[in-house]
Amino acid sequence: MSDSIMHQQDGFIVLEPNKQEFLTYEELLEKLKNILSDRQDDLPRELQNIKFLESQAKYLMENFCDLEMGPDTYLQWYVVRLEK
């Protein structure tokens, strides 16, 4: 059985070119929804069969740690736990 701490997070470090920020789960979810809403005609293959925007963003956030934004440009996110 997996350790429950593996599924806990206090937030995410989000890296973009020339920028990094700390976001909560809800803030990162909203950011990904905004990005994906503009890319519905060009979704990553893993998201193409998921109908709803919120479901796409949750799947992306919980199963991957990056999203290609353009040639050699990525958005990356990493879980942060502030306490042991």
Q: Confirm whether 42 is domain-assigned.
A: yes
Domain that holds residue 55: 10-80
Average pLDDT over residues 65-74: 89
| Res 6: pLDDT | 47
Average pLDDT over residues 3-7: 50
Strand order in the sheet with 11-16: 19-23, 11-16, 73-80, 66-70
Q: Confirm whether 39 is domain-assigned.
A: yes
Q: Confirm whether 1 is domain-assigned.
A: no
C-alpha torsion sign, points 35, 36, 42, 43: positive
- How far is Cα 14 from Cα 19, in angstroms, rounded to an integer? 8
Q: Confirm whether 50 is domain-assigned.
A: yes
The CATH number of residue 58's host domain is 3.90.940.40
Q: What's the number of domains the chain is made of?
A: 1
- How far is Cα 84 from Cα 76, in angstroms, rounded to an integer? 23
Residue 1: is its pLDDT beyond 80? Answer: no
